[in-house]
Every structure is written in C-alpha cells, then in structure tokens.
Amino acid sequence: MKPALEIDTPMTRAEVRASLSLAGIYMLRMLGMFLILPVFSVFARDLPGATPTLVGLAISAYGLTQALFQIPFGLWSDRYGRKPVITIGLVLFVLGSALAALSDDIYGIIAGRALQGAGAVAAVVMALAADLTREEHRTKAMALIGISIGFSFALSMVAGPMLSAWMGLKGLFWVVTALAALGIVVLYTAVPDPVVSRFHRDAEVRTAAFGTVLGNPELLRLDLGIFCLHLILTATFVVLPLVLRDTLDLPTAQHWHLYLPVFVLAMASMVPFVIVAEKKRKMKPVFLGAIAVVALADLGFLGFGASFWAVFGLLYLYFTGFNLLEATLPSMVSKIAPPDLKGTAMGVYSTAQFLGAFAGGAGGGWIYGHHGIPAVFLYCAVAALIWLAVALGMRPPRHVSSLLVNVGALSREQAATLSGRLLQVPGVAEAVVLAEDGVAYLKVDKDTLDRAALSEELFQTQAA
C-alpha cells in the first residue's frame, strides 16, 4: 500500500508541544519589546536628559542591535546548540530589561533597550522549531509563531497603558524582565530536546546565498516594504501617545479604550481582503491598496488628528492596512524566494524589518524635536508613498505555497532525476531535491496539485 503524503497527516503531540512552547517564548519576548511602545514617549519626557531624539532612540535602539546580531545568533546556534544560544539571548534580554528598570535617566534606558535587542534569538527559535518538526509540517509551526507575534503586539497595545498607569515606567520594565525570565523557564520545561540538530535551508540563513537573494529585485522590493512598514510603525508611536494625551486630553491609562476597539475592527476588516488576495488571486492590487491606505491614514493625521473620532477612524484605517501588510509580506517572500533559499531570504527580510524599526524611532524622534508632530506623520506618509511607487513595478506573485517533503538518502544523480520528475506533476511549479539534505523543496499550487501523482513519484523513489 502506498504511503500517504506526510502533509496529509496531522502533527504529532510532540510537534504540537514544540510549536506551542516555542511560540510562547517568542510571544513573551515580543511582549517585552512592544509593551512600552504605546506609553514610553509620554513617560520619558520627565526623565533626566530626555530629548525627543533620545526618546525616539530609546524606543528603537533594540532594532539596530537586533539587526546586527540576529543572523550571527543563528549561525552560532548551528555550532554551539539551539538551547544554549537561546538561553544566552534571553539572559541578555533579562539584563537589558533590568538595566532599563534600574535606570534613572534616558541614557540608561537606551543602553538597556540596545542590550535587549542584542539577545536576538528569533532566528534560533525558528531553527529549533525546524529541528523539532518534520519538513511537511514546518509551515504550521512557523504559522503558530507568526500568530504569536501578532497577538503579542495587540496585547501590548492594551496592556501597556493599563500596566504603566498602575506601576509606572520602571514597573513596566520589571514586568518585561519577568516575562523574559519566564521564557527561559518555558525553554527548559516545555520545549523538547531535538534528537538531531542540523542546518535547515527553509528556516536558516546560508551566507553563501546572500548574493542570489540580494540580486533578486522582487525580494528587494519586499525588503524595502518591511523596512518602510516598521519605520512607519515606530515613528508613529514616537508621537501618537502624545497626540492622545495632549491633543485629545485622553489620560494614558485610558489609551487602551481607543486601541482595543480599533484592533478588533481592523483585524475583522482585513479578513475579506486576505480572502480576495489568496482565493481570488488578487494579491498585487490588495497589497498596493493596503500601502495606499497606510499613506492615506498618515496624511489624514496632518489635517484631521484633533478629535477623538477622527483619530479613531484614521487608526482604524492605519491598522487595517498595517495588519494586512504584516500578514502578506512574509507570504510573498515565501512565494518569490527560490524554494531552497527561503531561510536566507527571510533572514535578509527580518534584518530589513529591524533596521526599519530603528530608522523609524531615531528619525521620528529627531524630526519631532526639530519640526513638530505633524512633520513626523509627513515622514511616515512619504515613506509609504515611496514604497508604493517602488511596489507598483512588482510582478504579481504566483499563487504557490512552499512544500517540503523528506525523500530520504539519495545520490546526486537520483536527486537530479527526482527533481525533473516532480516538475512533471500537475501543480508543482518548482522543485529542488538536494541529496545532502534528503529533502525535496517544492513550490506548489494547492488548488491544482495532483497529490496522488506526487505521492506516486515519492513512493517510487523510496521503493527504488
């Protein structure tokens, strides 16, 4: 009897446990990054030495160190082990959070935030998830981690104002310290130890492939996109809390009254557009429309940001576009990147994301200090419009998904032959079989994929 494709079988309990626990670690860490975002610019004005530029730098300093260290951390984990490197990263995050909590001036908080970012374990968490899941189920594990990031951001927008009103900025940093320490506990009590730890092309960076990835103009457009998206996000939150408190007279403790309904409505509103983009194969127009909505929202703040309902509506537009772009950008990287270079493409993409966050905070703070709040929103709108102009020339991404299949030990000749045969299967758009990995890296159209024919080809290979 021919075996079914592994993708058609459910994840094992061990795979579910590994995926959920790693998503939990990721969420705890991202909560530590995001909790101060909706409140810091309000509280930081009273810190000794604080200037708008330094406040923006304190918000975004983690982005620079995260960008510098995330790829090296991934490489170190291949050599020294996943859990030891994750532990070092989380310890650095704990130390950075504690330093910020103990600091009485803006400079100490900047140093603490930079140290937080230096514990750049995101890539290592992904690599450990790859160690603990079969190739055919890896995208499910990565999806759970992706969901945890979105949930942590939404939770931070609500919890940050509430917690800071109760315990102040120092207390908030102590909460962040405790969350990072809890991540270490989860790592050693809930995350299984991998039986084998090896390099995974779909989840890790291959430095020798940087030239190929950086030479792909479609991937570079997406890298610019995530850079601009997080520049806009961070710059917006340099000044938005000030608008809510000083212009709308909304106490900081009540900012969540605005954020919560905005997030709920924005999340609900993005769903139909995701369906149109994926099911109706209208990814490019939906993508361009979302960029335009973000630009429109930032332009709107220039003239209509003086009343509660105007800000509510503009934030609703902004977060609808933001959530849609945050969800579709990594999906588009996966569709465009060569099937065996997805990990490298995502590594470059993530570096661009963190550099964008740094540029947003540092640039937004400087612009606010020299030209005022409206100029920051103009900065964001210009970034969005530049992105839109670049994105107009993109090719519509193919309607394909990544699929990894373990094919076992093969010679180079057998791997090359199997690659050719798999390309003949209806629904398979790209196929790369690497003998040294024992894995077939595929791009498939799930709507037209002939699973029976794919299973037949794999069964014949295993039987031979």
DSSP state letter for 464: -
Same domain membership, residue 275 and residue 192? no
Same domain membership, residue 116 and residue 216? no
Same domain membership, residue 258 and residue 165? no
Q: Write down which residue in 202, 224, 252 finishes a domain.
A: 202
Same domain membership, residue 427 and residue 345? no
Same domain membership, residue 440 and residue 386? no
Q: Is the CB of residue 390 less than 8 Å from the CB of residue 221?
A: yes
Same domain membership, residue 241 and residue 182? no
Q: Write down which residue in 177, 202, 227 finishes a domain.
A: 202
Residue 406 domain boundaries = 401-463
Report the domain count for the chain.
Answer: 3
Same domain membership, residue 48 and residue 160? yes
Q: How are beta strands 439-444 and 401-406 bridged, if at all? A: antiparallel
Same domain membership, residue 300 and residue 154? no
Same domain membership, residue 87 and residue 15? yes
User: What are the pLDDT tens digits along the chain (464 aa)?
Assistant: 344 455 557 888 888 999 999 999 999 988 888 999 999 999 988 899 899 999 999 999 999 999 999 999 999 999 999 999 999 999 999 999 999 999 999 999 999 999 999 998 999 999 999 899 887 788 888 888 888 888 898 899 999 999 988 899 999 999 999 999 999 999 999 999 988 788 888 888 999 899 999 999 999 999 999 999 999 999 999 999 999 998 899 998 899 999 999 999 999 999 899 888 888 888 999 999 999 999 999 999 988 777 899 999 999 999 999 999 998 999 899 899 988 899 999 999 999 999 999 999 999 999 999 999 999 999 999 999 999 999 999 998 888 888 888 888 888 888 888 899 999 999 999 988 888 888 888 899 888 888 888 888 877 766 55
Same domain membership, residue 217 and residue 138? no
Q: How far is CA 283 from CA 279, 319, 329, 389, in A?
A: 9, 18, 10, 17
CATH classification of the domain holding 449: 3.30.70.100
CATH classification of the domain holding 259: 1.20.1250.20
Same domain membership, residue 96 and residue 209? no
Q: In what order do the strands lie in the sheet with 428-434?
A: 401-406, 439-444, 428-434
Same domain membership, residue 340 and residue 220? yes
Q: Write down which residue in 172, 202, 232 finishes a domain.
A: 202
- Which residues contact residue 145 at a Cβ distance below 8 angstroms, ignoring those fewer than 6 apart? 19, 22, 23, 26, 125, 126, 129
